[in-house]
Amino acid sequence: MQAWRRCSPPGPSARRLVEAFWPGPLTVIVPRRAGVGAAAAGGQDTIGLRCPAHPVAHALLHEALLLGVPGVAGPSANRFGRISPTSAAHVASEFEAGLWILDGGDCQVGIESAIVDCSRDRAVLLRPGTLTRERIEAALGGEPLEAPDAAAPRASGTLEAHYAPRAKVRMMNPAQLRAALAVLGPQATGTSPPVAVYSRTAGPLPAGVPGRVMPADADAAAQALFATLRELDATGAPLIWIEHPPAEPAWEGVRDRLQRAAAAG
């Protein structure tokens, strides 16, 4: 693969994951070849590589290759620490006018890729995604994924506080959320809503409180997550109350994004 030109010979873990999941929502971090890709590596001796599955992304990479460029590097199309964009409209709203935007439609997966550090002896899951931990470990031959430590490479989206709207995010279990809504009473008063709510089980909300229903399916929730946070943030509510997602493996990526959004408050 052309992307391997940017790294030292990858180890078996990286090769197994690439063969299993590329093209797709997986980033592997591997040792970087000296003198190559330094601008995209943040001063580190490792580099993150991904091959997306979207045909527009493939076309862009193909055109770059025709110009002698074996890969494309770029930052996320949002302001640092804020909600990730999942549509061209989201990107345009983040920045001043005059951008050139390559619009391939709304993101099909929604949340960002899983990131696995394959630069050391054992594979480390730095950021979960829609690829479950179990599927990644199965592709590694049953080898368990390690937790990040102080020596782990710095990677996009792994800060404790990230993916945050302007409103403060508060995570609650179902009982806590129902109790908090009861305190608001049957009708919210004021020129702007006191809170916005994203929940699976809260039921009818007080009048004047905007809300969205969290999908019951983990993949659907991941696909809609950032767009939903943007919609709730646009209501002007200073707080967004969110019900904890299920504690199931398929929801790990959604839980990760919401926990980081809540940490920013």
pLDDT (tens digit, 9 = 90+) per residue, 4-27? 555 555 689 999 999 999 999 999
pLDDT in tens, 171-215: 999 999 999 998 886 666 666 789 999 999 988 888 889 999 999
pLDDT in tens, 75-123: 788 888 889 999 999 999 888 777 888 999 999 999 999 999 999 889 9
Domains of the chain: 2-139 (3.90.870.10), 168-263 (3.40.50)
Kindly report the pTM of this predicted structure: 0.89
Residue with token string 């580190």: 44
- Distance in angstroms (rounded) separating the CA atoms of residues 247 and 254: 10
pLDDT in tens, 117-140: 999 889 999 999 999 999 999 999
- What is the structure's pLDDT at 187? 61
The CB-based long-range contact list for 108-111 (8 Å cut-off, 24+ gap) reads 108/54, 108/223, 109/25, 109/222, 109/223, 110/86, 110/222, 110/223, 110/224, 110/225, 110/226, 110/227, 111/84, 111/222, 111/225, 111/226, 111/253, 111/254, 111/257
Query: Phi, psi (5° rounding) for residue 184?
Result: -65, -30
pLDDT in tens, 147-175: 888 888 877 677 777 788 999 999 999 99
Strands 46-50 and 26-31: antiparallel
